[in-house]
Structure 1
Amino acid sequence: MDKFDVDAVLQQALDRLALLAEVTNALGSTLDADAGLRMVCRIMVPQLADWCAVDLLEGDDQPRRVCVTHRDPHLLPPGLLEGCLPSLTDDTPGPLARVLRGAGPLLINNPGSPGQQAQAGTGWYVVPALEASSMVLAPLRARRRVMGAITLARTGSERPYAEDDLALVEDLAHRITLHTDNARLDTEVQATAEHLQRALLPDLPHVGPSRARRPLQPGP
């Protein structure tokens, strides 16, 4: 390995450390889980991906797309593909479904056109109608349970993801998971505290509407 190769590897390592630091600072700036995830998507695009999506499992494992960001805002206006997704079942095909069920991280190169992806089951709500020449999907795991997934994608002739990118995405996923799980726990603690406060308040007696007393009339 010559000097130029060493410099390139060193610069790549520095860039990745800077990216991780930026993500950590963004997540640490808010206790709102969704707001933190949206900031992460905006950091990922275009630094690491042409588009990025984050999905969370809520309630009875109902998938919800929290955010999806594309480098071309005209192609994908903010909020267009966000919200609840169809229910996830054991038969749901595609890489995102696999990751949400516990597989991953997954590296997929040349997944084909959006139509081919849908036919092959690779397009299950990854991001409909968006191209991807290379993708990385990583689960968000907390307390031995998958709570969501992050999807990064590159398009066109952009350099495809490689095996060494998986470690970076896994590190990102770990940081995102810690933030999201802490935000959920904070919300639960606040809700419990409010419930206890209401339970400890004494029951006040019901008092009917008061009637205004008429002023005494002066005598003759």
Structure 2
Amino acid sequence: MPSLLIIVFALQVAIYLINTFGAATINSLLWNIYNRLPTPTSQSAAEQRVLKNQFMKIRKELNSTSSQDEFAKWAKLRRQHDKILEKLEKSKAELDSTKANFDKIVGALRWAGTNGFRMFLQFWYQKEPMFWIPKGWVPYYAEWLLSFPRAPLGSISIQAWALACMAIIVLVSDTLVALVALALGTRSTVNKENGESMKVPSGEKQTPSQSQAEKKEL
């Protein structure tokens, strides 16, 4: 069984990722994966994708057809456009209703697997020390805070460990984002300087003395 320290750290990572990317984005990704699997809604989702492709194709052709010069063709495309649009809206309404229920179930499972599980661990192991602090390393009030609320004095409680994990996760995440932004900014600056240095002047400007000398030679 994995160590409780690792479980709490992994749980804090999962919570941070969910809060960073957003529940709606994760639900949308899971919904797309769910529809790719052999599920009750997979066929409806596949039909909706086909209808979307047909709709965009006909709409593009309709916009490129003149209603005055090619009225017969335009009218035929318009009827096809309206027919597919009606089917598409009906299919979308059915899938949206199913997706709403899907989001509720996924949201409940996500909360139970993250925040709910974290609350359970913090309640169940509130008296258990995660690890002990060497004696004399920190003053008494710090020992009391680190063991809050009910862990033995001189130890790290599960609540304090969870807060420390989240602080480290946020610090590492901010550092990585700053490094990536710095690397991209440096690369953009280098490319810009290289592009400017590669520009070749169209011609050299003549000084007044050179111009007079040429006139004298002529």
TM-score range, shorter chain: under 0.3
Q: TM-score, normalised by structure 1?
A: 0.27
Between structure 1 and structure 2, the one with the greater Rg is 2
